[in-house]
Each structure stands twice: as structure tokens, then as C-alpha cells.
Amino acid sequence: MGPEKQCIEIGDIVRESEVIIPPNRKPWTGIVVYVQKDHYELHSFLGQLEDMVGIQWLQAGYVESLPASVVILVQKAKKKKKESP
């Protein structure tokens, strides 16, 4: 069995994985602004799917679309409490 899939949602704070950081730069931190479920098919013969996440990078000031496997979850977004009438 492979690594457990991260459950990344809108509003989560994430950081770049070492595999995508250019040399001589620290990892960026960002906020997930959208998630497209099962966007990437990693291995067609296995049928394994992966989400695409859109991240607003705080250091760079732009949104980048990446596979969920290349970011590391730093903190989950807080859930809103339902208000009772």
C-alpha cells in the first residue's frame, strides 16, 4: 500500500515539498484557494487519482495549480460553527 492521501481543502495552509523547491530558495507557504478532485491520473494501469490544488503563495503573490502530492499540509482551515436560529 502506498502513502496515505492528504485531505487538502480550501482554506488550508500548505508549504512546498522539497521536490519542487528550486536551489537556493526557502519553501513557500500558501493558502489553498481551490481543489479539483481527482484531476490527475498518476498511473493509468493502477487507476490512482490525485487532486489538483490551487495555492495562493504568500511570498510570490500569485496562484499556482499543483498536484496535492507536492505540497505539505501545515494547518487545516478552521470549520465554521453552524449558528442555531
Q: What is the pLDDT of residues 12-51, one digit of tens each?
A: 999 999 999 999 999 999 999 999 997 776 665 666 788 9
Domain contains 23: no
**Range(s) of the domain holding residue 38:** 33-75
> CA torsion angle for 42, 44, 49, 54 (degrees, to 10)?
50
Domain contains 50: yes
> CA torsion angle for 16, 21, 26, 29 (degrees, to 10)?
-20
Q: Quote the cell numbers at residue 49.
A: 487519482
Assign 68 a pLDDT band (cuts: 50, 70, 90). very high
Mean pLDDT, rounded, for 62-81? 91
Number of domains the chain contains: 1
User: What kind and span of H or E run contains 32?
Assistant: strand 29-43
Mean pLDDT, rounded, for 1-10? 71
